[in-house]
Chain A
């Protein structure tokens, strides 16, 4: 149950998604990955991809135009 943060602030999509995919592949099941983003497009495609993969996903707006995506690796 380790927790990791991934700083994607200032990265345009699709970079946050690619980074998330790479990072998540290295995590163990049950680990939590927190992706920080400020590109509205990544707010859509990162959660969509992660949900499709079957992970638990939560999104939270932490500031104006800044979001944190919580992804719990489930498989």
Chain B
């Protein structure tokens, strides 16, 4: 089936390019991944775990064609909200997980794990700039990395300048932090509202967004 020539509606026969068999390469790479995981595991189990999770994350990202850029761009561009809904579901699932981890730590008297970053106008402005950049360059951070691995060479360029930009940003971060970020304070909703309210509120907002996204997606069909 895979090697048959294609017959289009016009009856023209098209010979396909011969595909390389990538299976042997996949086996070799899998072996290298496992070997490297074992080496890391001897240094620290945590490193090996991070390595395996990183690889798994990449595989899921690639196979599912999951794209944060598309989730924000497609509703405007094509009226499709399938990825938007996927991101909302992912956030909801992650919220449950994070809530469990954080609640577990806090109830033991430990500080809240994870990042509680200061909120303010700088977040909104930075997000808009990042949004413009990711649509032009064809992917956000994870999407760009995934397509670099897929072999899409234009995004090797994206990655190069992504690194340049990130280094530049890190270099000047002290100034940005002093001028824009230090005035704002971090808000950890469960600490302010209490765990049940914060948890339900978060899922409720995500649920509402999902309904809006769903209706936006169906609206375009008519």
**A interface vs B, CB < 8 Å?**
1, 3, 10-15, 17-18, 32, 34, 38-41, 43-45, 48-49, 52, 60-66, 70, 72
Contacts and interface: CB of A to CB of B under 8 A. Distances in A.
Given A3-B10, A43-B65, A49 B19 contact: no
B108 interface: no
Interface in B125-145: 135, 137-139, 143
B65 A14 contact: no
Nearest to B144: A12
B78 A12 contact: no
Interface of B: 6, 8-10, 16-17, 19-20, 22, 62, 65, 67, 69-70, 73-74, 77-80, 82, 135, 137-139, 143, 147, 150-155, 158, 220-221
A54 B125 CA distance: 38
Contacts of A3: 8, 10
Contacts of B70: 13, 41, 44-45
Nearest to A44: B65
Of B70, B78, B137, most A-chain CB atoms within 10 Å? B78
Nearest to B9: A32
A41 to B, nearest CB: 6
Contacts of A72: 9
22 contacts: A1-B10, A12-B138, A12-B139, A14-B73, A14-B138, A15-B138, A17-B78, A40-B62, A40-B150, A41-B139, A44-B67, A44-B70, A45-B70, A45-B78, A48-B80, A49-B79, A62-B16, A62-B17, A63-B17, A63-B19, A65-B150, A65-B151
